[in-house]
Amino acid sequence: MPRGRFITLEGGEGSGKSTQARLLADAIGARGHDVVLTREPGGTAGAEAIRSLLVTGSADRWTAWSEALLMTAARVDHVERIIRPALARGAMVICDRYVDSTRAYQGAGHGLSDAALLRLHEDAVGLWPDLTLVFQLDETEGLARAAARGDAEARFERLGSDFHARIAGFFAALPANDPARCRAINAAGSVQDVAARIMAAL
């Protein structure tokens, strides 16, 4: 069976992942590759419906486990309907956030054990990226950028500075903890600077 490549972009709030995911998909598409640009939570009708439950409303709307299970339910739908079929036909899949966001937000942020979240991922999803770009940006700068966007999907932005500092700590450590899969990307500076760093990492 032909097998494409699965690349995920991870990082805290306002780190510029979504812009860079789009630029990367454009660059790969311009070289004639079949490319699928997608995001989590989301990417299918069912997963986008779950997303709206997760990213809107009051900060205490969900508990840690209800959040982790909703994120995983959305991921299962997305992986089975979009990502696995795209990889099977040989496409490059670029995904804005994936399981490392669950480990960072519901794990480091809300205190669930990483081992339990890894087990859940293995049992329910069972697909790992070939490459994960981990955006590194000071969380106060990222939160300021995200606040300036002022969109309605700000539930996680309201979870407090200690929560976001723990997430930044997880993403800071991830590339060294999993060097076979993950690359750190310095997300400070202009869109063009960051895009050039990504191309160099690829």
CB 103 within 8 A of CB 153: no
User: Which one, 30 or 148, has the nearer CB to ligand TMP?
Assistant: 148
Q: Please tell me whether residue 71 binds ligand TMP under the rule CB under 6 A.
A: yes
Q: Please tell me whether residue 156 binds ligand TMP under the rule CB under 6 A.
A: yes
User: Which one, 33 or 108, has the nearer CB to ligand TMP?
Assistant: 108
Q: Please tell me whether residue 8 binds ligand TMP under the rule CB under 6 A.
A: no
Q: Please tell me whether residue 97 binds ligand TMP under the rule CB under 6 A.
A: yes
CB 143 within 8 A of CB 157: yes
Q: Please tell me whether residue 55 binds ligand TMP under the rule CB under 6 A.
A: yes
Q: Please tell me whether residue 73 binds ligand TMP under the rule CB under 6 A.
A: no
Q: Which of 77, 25, 19 is nearest to 48 (CA)?
A: 77
Phi, psi dihedral angles at 129 (to 5 degrees): -65, 155
Give the C-alpha separation, 193 to 126, whole Å: 34
The per-residue DSSP string of 12-53 comes to: STTSSHHHHHHHHHHHHHHTT--EEEEESS-SSHHHHHHHHH
User: Which one, 3 or 158, has the nearer CB to ligand TMP?
Assistant: 158
101, 132, 168, 182: residue in contact with ligand TMP (rule CB under 6 A): 101
Binding site for ligand TMP (CB under 6 A): 13, 40-41, 55, 71, 97, 101-102, 105-106, 153, 156
